[in-house]
Amino acid sequence: MNPTMSAVKLTPFRKILIANRGEIALRVMRTAKRLGYETVAVYSTADANARHVREADQAVWIGESQPSQSYLRIDGIIEAAKASGADAVHPGYGFLAENAEFAKACRAAGLVFIGPSPEAIHAMGNKAGAKDIMQKAGVPCVPGYQGEDQSDATMLTAAKRIGFPVMIKAVAGGGGRGMRLVPDEAAFPDSLRAARSEAQNAFGDPHVILERAIVQPRHIEIQVFGDRHGNAIHLGERDCSVQRRHQKLIEEAPSPAVSPELRARMGATAVAAVKAISYEGAGTLEFLLDAAGNYYFMEMNTRLQVEHPVTEAITGLDLVELQLRVAGGEPLPLTQDEVKFSGHAIEVRLCAEDAAHGFMPQSGRMLRWRAPSELRVEDALESGGEIPPFYDSMIAKIISHGATRDEARRRLTAGLAQMSALGVTTNQSFLACSLDHPAFAAGQATTAFIDEHSSDLLGVKTSEGLHTAVAALLVHVSAIGPVHAQQHLGLAHGYPIPMRLNLDGHIVEPTVRRERGDVFRVGLAESEHALTLGARNGDVLHFTSDGVLDSATFVREGADLYFNFAGATSHVRDLSHAAVMKAGDAGSDGKLRASMNGRVVSVLAKAGDTVAAGAPIIVLEAMKMQHVHAAPVSGKLATLNAAEGDQVTTGFVIAEIEATQDAA
């Protein structure tokens, strides 16, 4: 114990308002309740029926669905704390977690902020300021530009001096938002504009910095903790190299690329950095590690991380409990020598997104949710619950722990196969393919992993023929009612029933014929599959194919059916009774449709304009990411049906373009 502890004032509290939502709010609640604290949830209109609202002791509405009108409203959250009688605030991660003004407002209101001081957040939460502190402390940093002059000309000059490829990063950013990798000078102006716009919408600050892009590095972060008694420790590293759009998808601890000696060096660097600013609470220093073993400081996250469960798994510590104890004035309960590591842990982020179409964010109703029974799962999901389009696309975290890395990987792969997330497209299959990929299995994944192996990672885990046959059978069975109440089908040997299905965006036209009893034969263009029905337990159908007993979990709603088979989740739309479109209709009818539920943040053309195919028309924001929607054909922009600020749904016709004669 630090000898000055007796002079340090304790700050006890009894009721914690959690200034966040979803799985992180529930995660904080779990530890807070175990330690005897009361909890208060806050919620937006979109989250009125959310689990974190129901499971808190109290809940306060703080505004409309947009984050700027609710979870980013400092005044609203402070008022909610006062109204509920809360005397402490836990910010979670995202939203206001790294906002120095929020921490300062909590202090001014007499609330204990469960996190670092406003001064530390300001010093290390700002990317430019943090790099300056690290450079003065002798910590290796990525070469770049973090000056006050943000003019286009100055930024371009700096980018050319640094050398392409260059990375643009939002000063106040995190989670990959406001970040662009720019390959060359020609792409720089548009990338700069997009990064600034995204940074302004996500963080209220358009300022950016530039960094040299380190090619194919590892993304390594060090978990640190400090207390107000001058103590600081690190809890080892996490490898977060598997990313898309600069956002992490798979995290593990320890890193397969970090030796004990390198861990000690990086840990000492991190501890020295936080001691230099008298840091209090949980924090993470993020580094890029190149193939030669050189590491470069990127940024510090002055909060709890999404991926903290893998550190908890290998250390046996509850990081939220440490946060609460440190915030109350207690010293850290262990020294660096007492930190022990056991086994290996891996976490995957289940996201509502379509990996096959550029990881496009998705939203809607989760018709069926069943979490793996043998793994740790952090989520706020439930069958029938809505996934709103206003927030981050991550909807659950699945964590495995094993004696070895391969054991942890196998357990996580098995858990993903057991899991059901039906009704909203997720990256479940993509995650399973990533874990199974030889490069990941060998511990060789860098930040280039997804780009290098995308074709492998987007593949179906079973034969396409059998997968299609199962889809056709499930659509047929769900249409005719309970499996064992099919006497109305008539003769034992039925005629082939033609079907037309949209299976994961591809049109297939199988036939289904009842051969005898519970034996069905599904005919495809080049093959035929015999499937024998077994028992049906709720939403699980058992069947035998080629002598192998198997099963699929499915749910149907109208013409849409969602199913999970052999670890792959698919969406099927039954078009058997729909009118057949003429060839080319879908791609050349001149209608620009919204690819997701989202909010129009920018309109880049106006009715009457002549536009070329591929020209940007509007920018939609969904789940905190911006997506440009471009003209499908060249021609005249005849109608524009959306304005800035409008909320549109998937498939909504944003604009109609009258194709020019040349384009036709």
Which amino acids are annotated catalytic? 303
Rg (CA), the chain: 27
Is residue 255 within 8 Å of residue 220, measured between CB atoms?
yes
321 in Cβ contact with 35 (< 8 Å): yes
- Of 306, 353, 426, nearest to 622 by C-alpha is 353
Sign of the Cα torsion 564, 567, 571, 575 reads: negative
CA distances from 564 to 429, 430, 561 (A): 9, 13, 10
Let me know: does 260 contact 319? Beta carbons within 8 Å. no
As given in the structure block, the two tokens for residue 469 are 């046959």
Question: Is residue 363 within 8 Å of residue 437, measured between CB atoms?
Answer: no
Q: Which two tokens stand for residue 656?
A: 């109609």
Dihedral, 647, 651, 657, 659 alpha carbons, nearest 10:
170
DSSP string spanning 115-135? SS-HHHHHHHHSHHHHHHHHH
Q: Could you tell me if 208 and 169 are in contact, meaning their C-beta atoms sit under 8 angstroms apart?
A: yes
CB 514 within 8 A of CB 530: no
Q: What values do phi and psi take at 411, rounded to 5?
A: -65, -35
Amino acid at 46: A
481: exposed, middle or buried (Cβ count in 10 Å: 0-12, 13-18, 19+): exposed
Question: Are 245 and 284 spatial neighbours (Cβ–Cβ below 8 Å)?
Answer: no
* Cβ–Cβ < 8 Å for 113, 327: yes
Which tokens is 304 given?
A: 């709890």
Longest CA–CA span in the chain (Å) reads 88
For the chain, what percentages of helix, strand and coil (3-state, to nearest 5) are there? Answer: 30, 35, 40
User: Which residue reads 């630090």 in tokens?
Assistant: 2
Helix axes 428-436, 405-418, angle to 10 degrees: 150
Give me the phi and psi of 40, to 5 degrees please: -125, 125
Q: DSSP of 359-391, one letter per residue?
A: TEE--EEE-EEE--SSSEEEE---TTEEE-TTS
Q: How many CB atoms lie within 10 A of CB 101?
A: 13
- Measured between alpha carbons, how far is residue 270 from residues 134, 256, 267, 281, 344 in Å? 10, 19, 5, 14, 22
Cα-based distances in Å from 390 to 46, 175, 220, 245 = 8, 15, 29, 18
Q: Which residues lie across from 57 on neighbouring strands? A: none
